Amino acid sequence: MRWDHLGDDGSAADTPAALFGTEAVVTRTFDTPGFRGITFHEVRARSILNRVPGASRMPFEWTLNPYRGCSHACVYCFARKTHSYLDLDTGLGFDSQIVVKTNAPELLRRELASARWHGEHIAMGTNVDVYQRAEGRYALMPGILTALRDYANPFSILTKGSLILRDLELLRQAARVTDVSIALSVGFTDGDLWRSVEPGTPSPETRLAVCRTLAQNGIPPTVLMAPVLPFLSDTPEQLRATVRAIAAAGATSITPLVLHLRPGAREWYTAWLRQHHPHLVRRYEALYAGGSYAPTWYQRRITRQVHEFATEFGCGPARRDAGERLRAAGEAAGGRAAEAVPAPGGAPSADTQLTLL
């Protein structure tokens, strides 16, 4: 595996400074139903806070990713391409070959204590989900959250995982001393579509229950309606049902994000489409003929419809700073998508563009 010269941003570095060397990798499998077929590569990382390139114009400069690869197995996941940096497969390999940075909590505490650290915002979940299945065994997040709480360091989490509720008390404690932002990803409520396209994730109903629980405990989350899948979850009836369910779960805002298909994800999603919805392949080829992103007219149509439904169900906006972080986390994925939904009766922000995480 091409790991010895892996840079902090997940790409091949030009210098010998690596996140970890192959001699530090321990490979494990567990013969339990929840982990059958998954291989874990345990590594001792050399750093855990990753600086966002300055040219990206992010309102935060740092991300934290304790895992690489994701057993959520979402067929559209933009992060699939990053597995190729490790000479790992971006299809089934991304779903089943999980890199675990076992020393992430202790590394974070050390880096937060450094005189060079100035308490910048740290975004989590911008690459793969920190509350994926592996977290149930390795339990890295309690140590990470404890360190962030102890240093009163602001942070945000984007997740599809219900395991976040295990850490509810730590989140509440952190929220008393610093800025904590939680976003849940719920793109649709169709159960059959969920089982097919997001087979390793908790159900949409479970994620909405997580949203409700967080809101009831003083940590009201935003919801990314992500992704809206063209011709599969984008009818007005489907959008309205999803918005209604999200609003009922207590979300502070809803942001629709249209599917984008970057290299790595595009090939895997197209293969899934050919198997499950072959009649849609040509329609997708036409819609995405211009590149990785759906046309602006399509994105605006989705935004307008979701805006109307959000107004109907009284779902308000995120705070401006939270909205900026969501926008920026989207840009970290390298694209753009639908505009954020404003408050009922309000006007959409002209400069708010988001992308699928």
pLDDT in tens, 172-230: 999 999 999 999 999 999 999 999 999 999 999 999 999 999 999 999 999 999 999 99
pLDDT-based confidence at residue 86 (cuts at 50, 70, 90)? confident
- Preceding peptide of 227 cis, ω within 30°: yes
- State the Cα–Cα distance between residues 198 and 177, nearest whole angstrom: 35
- Please determine, for residue 77, whether its predicted confidence score (pLDDT) is greater than 60: yes
DSSP state of 126: S
- What per-residue string of b and e applies to 55-71 under the rule 16 or more CB within 10 Å gives b? eeebebbbbbbbbbbbb
- State the Cα–Cα distance between residues 265 and 227, nearest whole angstrom: 13
- Please determine, for residue 269, whether its predicted confidence score (pLDDT) is greater than 90: yes
Beta carbons of 38 and 133 less than 8 angstroms apart = yes
Q: Partners of 185 in the beta sheet?
A: 224
DSSP state of 354: -
Mean pLDDT, residues 39-49? 95
Mean pLDDT, residues 90-98? 96
pLDDT of the residue at 315: 86
pLDDT of the residue at 52: 85
Mean pLDDT, residues 45-54? 89
Beta carbons of 157 and 124 less than 8 angstroms apart = yes
Mean pLDDT, residues 76-85? 93
Chain segment 109-144, per-residue pLDDT in tens: 999 999 999 999 999 998 899 999 999 999 999 999
Residues sharing a CB contact under 8 Å with residue 258, sequence separation 6 or more, in sequence order? 227, 228, 230, 293, 294, 298, 299, 302, 337, 338, 356
pLDDT-based confidence at residue 341 (cuts at 50, 70, 90)? very low
pLDDT of the residue at 31: 78
pLDDT of the residue at 48: 96
Please report which helix (H) or strand (E) contains residue 170, including its range: helix 168-177
pLDDT of the residue at 20: 53
| Nearest C-alpha neighbor of 72 from the set 192, 173, 190, 162 | 162
Beta carbons of 260 and 335 less than 8 angstroms apart = yes
- Please determine, for residue 350, whether its predicted confidence score (pLDDT) is greater than 90: no
pLDDT of the residue at 342: 33
Other CB atoms within 10 A of residue 317 CB: 22
Mean pLDDT, residues 297-313? 95
Q: Which residue has the higher pLDDT, 271 or 36?
A: 271
